[in-house]
Structure 1
């Protein structure tokens, strides 16, 4: 693959996931990732500060999509309906390629405590983005926090379901379904 070909960032992410799956996160170097992607170490560092951040690609954009989806929901919607609109906006950007490498990504994260910590941080940031957007809509606390936490849990669970080979639903459909299931489960807390 020529170095001048487009999608360097995507190629680096794919190469990293492949190598992390094959030889483990700790045993993979930045140079190996760059070489597998057909790029240089310098190109790698133009896109990512370190190899851990390769797996965090798009987090800022994802948070922004969640905020915009929640902000754009009709004013008459409930907090959970607004979260569902945010999930729709965020999950619509996911591609079949991301679905394909989802199980390998989850396996790599599960095998490394540093990546688990980073994944928990990413989850916290997504929940915070939803909570901020709900606050801007005037939703009071603790409703804001509960709705955002349910949205974060729905996103995570839906991602796992979406990447299963037998799944035929879109990520958005699964996120909405999972959010409804979680909301129904809260009724059993009484």
Structure 2
């Protein structure tokens, strides 16, 4: 008899990533993903509505960013608040043990238009969530939207560098570098 193993969503995501790399996204079925993970099709659908979602975090990143924004120092400006939240995200989510998976995941997303489209929609949700969290802190709506858009840009630049770095640099310092580049661009430097 097979023993129960924890982290079904993580096992399903790892199996899906392996299969998408081996066979391509279009040529992989939910049943194959579930079997590779040692689970059933019904277990797959308990965790994900379809195979597109298996490589996305089900709102984990969005929730962590909203928490980070809420817990940032009260005197921090909107963009610094977002940067603090991104730093916290790096410490809890974008950790060294997730770097390889994240890089492989991004390569699969980049290779499949349907997955790129899903990722773009997730980023829009992420930006809206950051703007809403900033607004709850008292940041005026327009300023919150601008800071969230710039925060998403900072996140994208830092993430691309993080998955591409060979030296193992942490996510947080890359966020700060990207934020400095955004501020330098604004200042005309």
Q: Does 1:181 align with 2:181?
A: yes
Q: What is the CA–CA distance in structure 2 between the aligned matches of 1:141 and 1:39, rounded to whole Å?
A: 45
CA–CA distance in structure 2, aligned partners of residues 98 and 3 of structure 1: 26
Q: What displacement does 1:143 show?
A: 2.0
Matched, 1:80 2:79: yes
Which 4+ residue blocks in structure 1 deviate beyond 6 angstroms? Answer: none
TM-superposed CA distance for 1:97, in Å, is 3.5
Q: For structure 1, which runs of at least 5 residues remain unmatched after alignment? A: none
TM value normalised by structure 1:
0.91
Superposition pairs of residues 44-123 of structure 1, within 5 angstroms = 44-58=44-58, 60-94=59-93, 95-123=95-123
> Any idea what SS the aligned residue of 1:18 has?
helix
RMSD: 1.7
Extract unaligned runs of 5+ from structure 2: none
Post-superposition offset of 1:96? 3.0
Matched pairs, number: 187
CA contact (8 A) 1:87 1:176 kept: no
- Of 171-180 and 146-155, the range deviating more from structure 2: 171-180
Assess, with a 3 A threshold, how the Cα gap between structure 1 residues 3 and 49 changes in structure 2: closer, same or farther.
farther
Q: What TM-score comes out, normalization by structure 2 length? A: 0.91
Displacement of 1:165 in angstroms is: 4.6
